[in-house]
Structure 1
Amino acid sequence: MLIPVIRHLSTLADFNCLVMGLTTAASQLGRCGIQSVGFSSLLRDDDVRAISHGRRLFSSLPQDGAVDPQESIAYLGLSYADLEERLGVEGAAVEYALKGRQAFLPLGPMRRACIKYAPDVIVTTISPRAEQAAILVASEMKIPSVCLIDLFARPSLKRASTQGYATRVCVISDSVKNWLIRAGRRPDEVVVTGNPVFDELFARDIKSKAVLLREKNKWQGKKVILWASQIEPERNPFSGRIGDPSLPWSVEACLKDIIRSKDDWHLVIRYHPNQGCVPTSEVDEKITISERNEPLAPLLQAVDLVVTLTSTVGLEARLLGKPLITVDMSVYSDDTPYAKLGFSVGIDDLSELESAMSRLLDGCIGPNSLSELPRIGMATDSVVQQILKLSNEGA
């Protein structure tokens, strides 16, 4: 969501855009040609204890992930040291044992970043932990901040409803703005911008690129289904609901079985950037693995149906008028209620998946609630204007 904003800001002569790409974001930014710094840039000579914590915690993680080991050690170590500063040694141990990395709120490292880099404006998303800490530190240090909210998710909205949580909150629709105002935010603090990541969906050449993609992959005459995968945690950090980390792989296995029984169906699997280690899929002419650097917009335009848990890819699919199935078995399903909003056909049992796919692929599009979908086309410009306005006010 921030990549289009970063690119736009980088073209402005009077603007220096410093990007913090934390954990898996660094590799995603790198693939887009955007340089970034991480927690390793915040380490000091006296961080012996933090580095020790980082090495200890890193040793328990899979060692073939997408994050640079030194960056992982710095992130884990500085975040855990901050947790100890806030809760004490015993309190931190108990909290981390209960919540894992969800226990982090690295206020100390973000204070270091603000002191070191002296930003005029801080821009981030509504994500928890480090990004949440950035917004809180910005308020504490009187630095103007912009927070982008990409969904209708209630836990995120609750956090953003707190007075002072970002100088400006950029949201995707009027309904989200109205909810925040009812919750106590001032109308001038909340701006309907849309989501910058959706702007590319309506580029002039998307449809022609989609046609070429179908030809390249020999999908002519096929009904192409996209499975937009994602990580499923063991526990919802907001509600405490217990999850099943194997759920994405169960859905994938079910989809593969269904596809193999249909002569004219083809499955495309798109793994989430945070799924660092994915199982090696066997070679199968009925299955395509979408590479992480493959542009999403032409792919969405090229497919006939999208299946996901709660990914924003589902919302993008609906913006393009594509039918959507959500597997409402995720710990985040209640927080991102696509089916209840009328955006998707929701299923809560994998035995229902094949029949739902058949109905939609046979032409019964089903959900068509477009009134609550976000504004599209000019979101990047709208967000940038809010950043420039705050920058000029603070000059």
Structure 2
Amino acid sequence: MKVLFVTYGGGHVEMCLPVMRALRERIPGCDAQILALTTASGVARRAGEAPLGFLDFCTGAEGERALRYGERLVEGQQHPDVTREESLAYLGLNFLEWVDEMGEQAAWQRWRDVGRQGFRPLKLFQRILSQVRPDVVVATNSPRSEQAAIEAAHALGIPTLSMVDLFALPGDPYLSRKVHADLITVLSDATRDKLAAAGVPRERIVVTGNPAFDQLSGEDARNAAVHFRAERGWGERPLVLWAGHMEPADADPRWAGAALGDAVLETLLRWTLSHDDACLAVRYHPNEWHQFRQPAPHPRVHWSQPDRETLLPVLAAADVVVVQATTVGAQAHAAGKQVLGLAFSPLVQRSGMDYERLGMGVSAKDIASLPTLLERQLASVRRDRSPAGPRGQAAHRVALEIAGLAARRPEGNRA
């Protein structure tokens, strides 16, 4: 059985990797491959995988055209954890599909209007899937190339599965997609109900939990926390994790882009340095960390750089986790941590991902209230608290659904 995972970075690739391992455990000889897009490639390599990238499919005369366009597009688009060659291929192949569809002039206008957020290379993925010939295509609820992979597989008659990471809240673009995977795995009954209410047939939705949460309970997490603290000499000191991300460019100028992250960091630094026993860890989204100000070195402040360390150690070691609208908040809750949300975040307000309203933590209504709420949460920390989520079986549940899809595919259509 051959399974192709297509994923972007952050929490999306973290869902895919444990499912790949579970498939190999469950089905000896299973060929689980990953097309790891942008920052997902580095994560996959560090996890021991040999990921495919767009560069692997950027060949011949078409590839040369794509790379020339990539050279013209790459300025301001390069991420430190993505090779320049892969960036050129990713940008160029996506843009080339626009050129072939609408002409070069219209393609450049579309780039000016929507940038890379408008990419959805359906024809490219039809070519990739025809070449790779998987029995099942697996993606997450991320848009652009992941959605293109699902649509291309659907057109080619290849079974598909999508993993939805969180809550499918009202306004989530995933709810309004015209083409969904044959099976959709979700975090909870509540997520299933929201998808069904949006018109997705209930029989295509399976509650499995989020595979990225599997590692949050058990001995590995406890050992990672102990090692993280011991390595820095922090012992049993209270530890706050600030897990931030960029805000929309069109938001209130006080908070747009990196402004909210920098303001929250400054507030948390002042609080930490005014408490002799407190420690602070700072970790921004894997796609965006290089756009934020890095705090000055201090023995009680840790800069958690996603291309150098995974989330697990710092999350497992933390007592309170401060978040906006990120999967890390749900992971922290599942791990039994105190979650402090930022209700004044523009993205929280737009997405509805307010962790207090979701019953997973408390939320600061403004930045001035952050220190007081932080002290209240630290006062209620119990390190013997059991994880709130199910214990570590989501990856195997998803793997079982993938195997079922492959088994139902007609023999004549298999690779």
- Residue 132 (structure 1) aligns with: 147
Aligned to 1:37: 52
Whether 1:265 aligns to 2:278 is: yes
Q: Deviations over 1:332-380 (max 9, x none)?
A: 3132232221212222422121111112112289xx9x9xx76442100
Matched-pair contact (CA < 8 Å) for 1:213–1:299: yes
Are 1:363 and 2:402 counterparts? Answer: no
- How far apart are the structure 2 equivalents of 1:87 and 1:393? 38
Residue 61 of structure 2 aligns to a residue whose secondary structure is: coil
Whether 1:55 and 2:71 are equivalent positions in the alignment is yes
Residue 352 of structure 1 aligns with an amino acid whose one-letter code is S
**2:296 aligned partner:** 282
CA separation in 2, counterparts of 1:235 and 1:145?
A: 35
User: Is the 1:301–1:320 Cα contact (8 Å) retained in structure 2?
Assistant: yes
- CA drift of 1:163 comes to 6.1
Q: Specify the SS of the correspondent of 1:226.
A: strand
Secondary structure of the structure 2 residue equivalent to 1:154: coil
* Cα deviation 1:139-175 (Å, max 9, x = unaligned): 1111100000001143785525656410000000001
Runs of 4+ in 1 over 6 A off after TM superposition: none
Number of aligned residue pairs: give it: 384
**Structure 2: segments with no counterpart, 5+ residues:** 1-14
Unpaired runs of 5+ in structure 1?
A: 237-241
- Give the letter for the 1:341 counterpart: L
Secondary structure of the corresponding residue to residue 50 of structure 2: coil
Alpha-carbon distance in structure 1 between the residues aligned to 2:295 and 2:81 = 18
Inter-partner Cα distance in structure 2 for 1:147 and 1:243? 31
Among 181, 185, 190, the alignment partner of 1:175 is: 190
Instruction: Find the counterpart in structure 2 of residue 8 from structure 1.
Output: 22
Query: For residues 154 and 96 of structure 1, what CA distance do their matches in structure 2 show?
Result: 29
Distance 2:176 2:217 in 1: 31
Q: 1:376 to 1:140 in 2, by over 3 A?
A: farther
For the aligned residue pairs, the C-alpha RMSD in angstroms reads 2.5
Q: Partner of 1:114 in structure 2?
A: 129
Q: Distance in 2 between matches of 1:210 and 1:156?
A: 36
Aligned pairs for 1:292-331 (under 5 A) are 292=306, 293-331=308-346
- Name the stretch that deviates more: 14-23 or 157-166: 157-166
Residue number among 83, 90, 106 corresponding to 1:75 in the alignment: 90
Shift of residue 32, structure 1, vs aligned partner = 0.7
Asked if 1:91 is matched to 2:106, the reply is: yes
Three-state SS of the structure 2 residue aligned to 1:176 is helix
Query: Identity, % of aligned pairs?
Result: 32
Partner of 1:19: 34
Q: Which sits farther off after the overlay, 328-337 or 262-271?
A: 328-337
- Do the aligned residues in 1 keep the contact of 2:168 with 2:175 (CA within 8 Å)? no
Q: Which of residues 384, 388, 394 is equivalent to 2:403?
A: 388
Of 347-356 and 159-168, more deviation after overlay is shown by 159-168
Please say if residues 198 and 316 of structure 1, whose CA atoms lie closer than 8 Å, have aligned partners that are also in contact: yes
Q: 1:157 to 1:140 in 2, by over 3 A?
A: farther
Q: TM-score, normalised by structure 2?
A: 0.85
Give the residue type in structure 2 aligned to 1:45. Answer: G
2:8 corresponds in structure 1 to none
Hey, what's the Cα distance between the residues in 2 that align with 1:235 and 1:116?
A: 41
2:366 paired with 1:353: no
